[in-house]
Structure 1
Amino acid sequence: MAATELQALLRFLSQDAKVPLTTAMSKIKELQQHEANLTTPEKLATVKAKDIMSIFPDEKVAKAIVAAAKRVTKKRAAGENAAPSPKKRKRDALVPDEPIGPEDLEAAVALPVSSATEEELAAITIFSNRAPLFLAFTVTLLKHTMPEQPLTSRLSLAQAFISTSSRSRAVSLGIQTLDRKEVEAEELLAQGQPKVNIMGKEISILKRWGYEWERESVTAPTSEQDTAQNKTHELETEDGVADAQDVPNFEEQPALWALDLESLRKSNRSDITLANVRAGNNSSLPIYTPQSARAYLLKSFDSPADDKAPKSGASAKAAVKERNLGHLLRALAMLYDSWASTLDGVELDKRTWSWYVKVRPDVEQGVAGWGGKNEIRLADILALRRQP
């Protein structure tokens, strides 16, 4: 999507449809990915409100957008789309003609929020497979172990951890094969790259120097926690017990991207060389994008099938999944918050795997269970909280 088209769509949503700019920013990718490619008022004018409720779950907002799209389209057809007045141009300055800023980028990957009470959460059961659940655990964990990292970084790092863990599991089950040359190529590319340790796995990173965003209000680690961050420890992972690793002092880190070594190896592009990597020429290096991690989370948490319930359309199903993700993240936040005053980041990192194992969906063992889905009870997550 060209920059001018993006700016035009943002202007329409924020000015004509009265959608808050941060909300509009967060919905751009979903509008692009809609089967009708809803990136202009003309295209939005051809759909019904229910068709975009998977993107804008609030029915009033969805109706307002469609109505605004029809109104703008009608004016344009009547030749009323004249050059903007100075006053209009001043208003348009709210959407700058330059790359998206950090605060808008963070808003664009915002995750759904639930206001459900503890009792309401305890009654909720969702339906999913194991990988997205572990991704949700990891994103929540990183908010406590890397509180200085923005959401874009936490999503990128969490996706890298889940992807590398899943690949290791696939190789161990014989679902995927890697020859020695592929392994050596990735090891070579990783040499000299800075790394962070997440639950016993080393994740190669790129440092996003100069990236400034509106930081969240997070309780700063205590001095004891800072000391513990530098201790070595052994962590259990899905592939067994990892070797003891030094946990880096995350307080000193700028914002980070997780480097996608597999994509880098497979690219075979002449402009991506080991020399470039080591020289810090990172503009063309593939990363695990926060958008892909967010999209994966949003589509992964359904509700258990109910044969008596009437069948719903795609937009309604998407809205259910988004709500379920919000409920899951709230339950996980309550779990981690309950332990945050007692356990430092190292201990939270260490316990996450055992917590996940206790609540992950039951599936068949081995290859037969790969990608299998089952129920996840939020009451089981809440039961893991520290008792007063």
Structure 2
Amino acid sequence: MASSQVQSLLRFLSQDAKVPLAGAMGKVTELIKADLITAEKISKGGLKALQDIFKDDKLARQVLNASKRVSKKRPPAETTAGSPQKRSRISTRDLTATPYATECALALPVSDVTEAELLDIVLFTNRAPLVLAFALCVLRYTMPEQPISSRLSLAQAVVSANSRSKAVSLGLESEETVEEESWEEGQPTVSVLGRNIKILKRWDYDPREGQPPQKSLSVEDMIDDILGKCSSDNLEPAPPIWGIDVQAARRMHGSDISEKQEQALPIHTPQSARSYLFKSFVKAGSEHTTQLKKSKSRNQIEDEAEKEACVGHLLRAINSVCRSWASTLSKDELDRRAWAWYVHVRPSIKSGVGGWGEKGAVKLADILALKKRPNPAT
């Protein structure tokens, strides 16, 4: 079964049927074996099959009712894995507080459209969230052992570092202020998109804690992408890390010394990074009609679903480029080139303020043009 179909099934269970994502992942293999892989098939499969799988009459009825509701609401063509799905956001309140469930709640959308369809998509955004997207994608290949929470935190730290550099270039902040961080001396750093990001190691955190056993290779691959890949050598795995919020830490450094001793270093939270990413992209042709969409025929959930679909399309395009080069470039070189790729495709802002907070067009065709092409000589 294709990973896109697994994603579609998980989206239905966790968002339409309101099954906690951690629990939904534990039932995917059984649903696949029973050929209950779409809302339409589940609605026709009957209650008994779902009771045998979920072992909970109330939950089985909940899934069945959701499948009937979704099947009636969506045309048959939209129930296939190749079509966009209307999604609502995953609420962490619906999940148990295990690290595994927390990481699953941060999972990013996956685009099911073909690459040919991606070529026709144009998004409107500003430069900061595009940096966030590039950082997230390159981290999948330069730090594959890091879970999604760490990658989101590190990517947001890159955006913050770039914002500070922009403030210096505009004269809003002095070089001395940016470098005034001797309190952080000795704090470890990692390089992301050429930026040295100060980090905090999470020694007591295991993203796989609470993970149910998986028997489907498709599910395992998807879980590895969320939780971080296990090391194939005998070396001790690197711990998950946070990107330190340098600006917040500097403000804390200026506070009373007794208060500082009681406070942990502030970090960029993955939830805020994810939220920022999801609200920052709109498809070309829709950004001028936002108010028209706020009508009886279009609700907030549908608007959010469209924005999440845009994020899925963008991440798929950038990931495709990173994956095409990952086998031939070192991690350091891939990281360096990713910044150059961002510079090449970033929105062209025509106003004269500098453009960091203003919107422009990003053509996914321009991103996909950066893919490594096969060498004809080989």
Structure 1, unaligned runs of 5 or more: 1-13, 26-48, 50-56, 63-93, 224-249
Q: Displaced runs of 4+ in structure 1, greater than 6 A?
A: 218-223, 307-310
Partner of 1:264: 249
Note the 1:273-352 alignment, pairs <5 A: 273=260, 284-305=264-285, 311-313=292-294, 314-352=300-338
Structure 2, unaligned runs of 5 or more: 1-12, 25-69, 71-83, 89-93, 209-222, 295-299
Q: TM-score, normalised by structure 1?
A: 0.63
Partner of 2:21: 22
Tell me if structure 2 keeps the 8 A contact 1:155–1:290.
Answer: yes
Once the two structures are TM-superposed, the CA of residue 195 in structure 1 deviates from its matched residue by: 1.2
CA RMSD of aligned residues (A): 3.5
Tell me if structure 2 keeps the 8 A contact 1:114–1:330.
Answer: yes
Once the two structures are TM-superposed, the CA of residue 344 in structure 1 deviates from its matched residue by: 1.8
Tell me if structure 1 keeps the 8 A contact 2:231–2:237.
Answer: no
**1:175-200 CA distances to partner (integer Å, 9 max, x unpaired)?**
x22474x4464x22211211112233
**1:182-227 CA distances to partner (integer Å, 9 max, x unpaired)?**
4464x2221121111223322111110031123616788999xxxx
Tell me if structure 1 keeps the 8 A contact 2:123–2:363.
Answer: yes
In structure 2, what is the Cα distance between the partners aligned to 1:293 and 1:251? Answer: 29
In structure 2, what is the Cα distance between the partners aligned to 1:126 and 1:159? Answer: 20
In structure 2, what is the Cα distance between the partners aligned to 1:352 and 1:296? Answer: 21
**1:92-139 CA distances to partner (integer Å, 9 max, x unpaired)?**
xx976xxx1111110121111111111111111111111111110000
- What secondary structure does 2:100 align onto? helix
Tell me if structure 2 keeps the 8 A contact 1:328–1:378.
Answer: yes
- What secondary structure does 1:263 align onto? helix
**1:8-54 CA distances to partner (integer Å, 9 max, x unpaired)?**
xxxxxx99x842212799xxxxxxxxxxxxxxxxxxxxxxx9xxxxx
- What secondary structure does 2:132 align onto? helix
For residues 317 and 251 of structure 1, do their structure 2 counterparts lie closer, same or farther at Cα, with a shift above 3 Å needed?
Answer: farther
For residues 258 and 384 of structure 1, do their structure 2 counterparts lie closer, same or farther at Cα, with a shift above 3 Å needed?
Answer: same
In structure 2, what is the Cα distance between the partners aligned to 1:325 and 1:149? Answer: 21
- What secondary structure does 2:293 align onto? coil
In structure 2, what is the Cα distance between the partners aligned to 1:177 and 1:309? Answer: 35
Count residues in correspondence: 275
Once the two structures are TM-superposed, the CA of residue 317 in structure 1 deviates from its matched residue by: 2.7
In structure 1, what is the Cα distance between the partners aligned to 2:183 and 2:250? Answer: 8
Partner of 1:169: 166
- What secondary structure does 1:216 align onto? helix
For residues 108 and 219 of structure 1, do their structure 2 counterparts lie closer, same or farther at Cα, with a shift above 3 Å needed?
Answer: closer
For residues 151 and 302 of structure 1, do their structure 2 counterparts lie closer, same or farther at Cα, with a shift above 3 Å needed?
Answer: same
In structure 1, what is the Cα distance between the partners aligned to 2:339 and 2:313? Answer: 20
Amino acid at match of 2:276: Y
For residues 166 and 308 of structure 1, do their structure 2 counterparts lie closer, same or farther at Cα, with a shift above 3 Å needed?
Answer: closer
Once the two structures are TM-superposed, the CA of residue 149 in structure 1 deviates from its matched residue by: 0.4
In structure 2, what is the Cα distance between the partners aligned to 1:317 and 1:286? Answer: 32
Q: Name which of 189, 206, 226 aligns with 1:195.
A: 189
Note the 1:1-388 alignment, pairs <5 A: 18-22=17-21, 100-174=97-171, 176-178=172-174, 180=176, 182-183=177-178, 185=180, 187-214=181-208, 216=224, 253-267=238-252, 268=255, 270=257, 273=260, 284-305=264-285, 311-313=292-294, 314-364=300-350, 367-388=353-374
- Give identity over the alignment, percent: 44
Partner of 1:88: none
